Structure 1
Amino acid sequence: MNRTVLTLLVFVLAFALGIASLALWQSRQQDQRVHEEATILLDRVRNVMKMVTVEGDVSELFSSTSSRDVTLYLPLPSRFSFDKKATVEVRGTVLVGYDLEQLDISVDPDRRILTLRNLPEPEILAIDHELVYRDLNESWFNSFSTEDYSRLNRRAKERLRDEALESDLLARARVQGNAVIEGIEYLARSAGYEVVVVEGERPIRQ
């Protein structure tokens, strides 16, 4: 066979194999489908009266390490410790304000008095957070499970709550709450009413 013809034949064969391989790869890619299912469960709907006065952004990097002791027979019993460690960055927004469910407002039109009872204390109303797993190291006999990830998520939210309680967010929310009361008093006085704030049975502001 002529050398030129042989070279041309090899080239054509290689080109045909390349085209066939590309077609096969594309067909496999087209056959791959992502199937997702979502189930929304709505257990209960209730009316709430909550007033957010302060929100703060909190972030923290923390590590969690757990160990598991395993006895191996080699052939004598030998005890080994296997660790797993997670380094997690948690970022979130903490909403602080007042739950007004127990607030009681009464109006005496004859005496022109507006009475506020059961004023709530500022509290953390909600925490919106996300986790970023910076590092996950696990052992052969001690790997991460779905329960571990759930526990890390709960622990991260608890740490954000602790950070918020140690900050000045509650104090700032209390200042904002007092400003709201002052605004109510101003509007009431403009309408010819007096505002009385009662804690228990004792007025604390007139």
Structure 2
Amino acid sequence: MNASTLLFFLISLTLGTGIGAVAYKWFFVKKSNEETSKTESTVLLESIEKVFKVVMAEGYFTEIYNYENHRNFWNLISDKKKALIIAKAKVLVGYDFGKMRFHFSHSDRKMIIEYFPEPEVLSMDTDYKFYDIEQGWLNRFQTDDYTAILNEAKKTMNEKALQSDLPRIASNQVQLMMFQLAATMSWKIDLLLPEINKKQLDEFSKYRPTDANIDSLKIDDNP
């Protein structure tokens, strides 16, 4: 084998090795790094119901919820887990008119209301974030724990919304709306309510100022 033949053989071997390495990297290494995601979604419509619910007031709430749980194992080890949850919610308060009882007196153009429902929370759009999660070796958070914490926080938020001024605002709004609509059609509204129902409406008509304790700011004039 002369020198030119040997040189041609070496060049061909080098090129073949390089092309093979590139081909291996392209077909095998790249393929192993490819990520494939597949998502399937099934939406089932369970039921459709006709409702007559009207939103009369909305409020925005922030709740700071502290959760702490202690467990004692065999009276030897005391283990705890805790978390801080900050919840934000938009609460819509209004009326379900399907619960109202009434009839019409067409002779004197009157709408006679026999029962007027209480304002209620119609919907609550919530957002929860967990902070400062701590757990022990044995007492650890499980999926059921998070579900129970969120349910309790949502229940507390619902109670606070009904204790706020939202029901009073909704009560005033719905009465104004109904009497104005009746007046535009030359009708009148008579409230022939049971005594307990009257007391409920009176209670929701009371103003409840928001409780807040504000500390006075102390300004130091000396630098």
TM-score, normalising length: structure 1: 0.74
State whether residues 66 and 85 of structure 1, in contact with CA within 8 Å, keep that contact through their aligned partners in structure 2.
yes
Specify which of 178, 189, 194 is matched with residue 188 of structure 2.
194
State whether residues 114 and 188 of structure 1, in contact with CA within 8 Å, keep that contact through their aligned partners in structure 2.
no
Distance verdict in 2 for CA 1:108–1:165, change over 3 Å: closer
State whether residues 95 and 124 of structure 1, in contact with CA within 8 Å, keep that contact through their aligned partners in structure 2.
yes
State whether residues 179 and 188 of structure 2, in contact with CA within 8 Å, keep that contact through their aligned partners in structure 1.
no
CA-CA distance at 1:41 after TM superposition = 4.1
State whether residues 59 and 91 of structure 1, in contact with CA within 8 Å, keep that contact through their aligned partners in structure 2.
yes
Aligned length: 178
Distance verdict in 2 for CA 1:38–1:153, change over 3 Å: farther
Unaligned runs of 5+ in 2: 1-17, 199-223
Tell me which residue corresponds to 2:212: none
Distance verdict in 2 for CA 1:184–1:119, change over 3 Å: farther
Distance verdict in 2 for CA 1:70–1:194, change over 3 Å: closer
Tell me which residue corresponds to 1:87: 84
CA-CA distance at 1:109 after TM superposition = 2.6
State which structure, 1 or 2, has the greater radius of gyration over its C-alpha atoms.
Answer: 2
State whether residues 106 and 115 of structure 1, in contact with CA within 8 Å, keep that contact through their aligned partners in structure 2.
yes
Give the whole-Å Cα distance in 2 for the aligned partners of 1:84 and 1:197: 54
CA-CA distance at 1:117 after TM superposition = 2.8
Give the whole-Å Cα distance in 1 for the aligned partners of 2:114 and 2:33: 67
Tell me which residue corresponds to 1:51: 54
Within-5 A mapping of 1:36-75: 36-71=39-74
Query: 2:171 aligned with 1:174, yes or no?
Result: yes
CA-CA distance at 1:58 after TM superposition = 0.6
CA-CA distance at 1:167 after TM superposition = 1.5
Share of identical aligned residues, percent? 26
* DSSP 3-state at the match of 1:88: strand
Tell me which residue corresponds to 1:141: 138
Tell me which residue corresponds to 1:28: 32
CA RMSD of aligned residues (A): 2.8
Unaligned runs of 5+ in 1: 1-12, 72-77
AA in 1 matched with 2:191: V
TM-score, normalising length: structure 2: 0.69
More strand by share: 1
State whether residues 92 and 122 of structure 2, in contact with CA within 8 Å, keep that contact through their aligned partners in structure 1.
yes
Within-5 A mapping of 1:119-134: 119-134=116-131
CA-CA distance at 1:80 after TM superposition = 0.7
Give the whole-Å Cα distance in 1 for the aligned partners of 2:107 and 2:163: 46
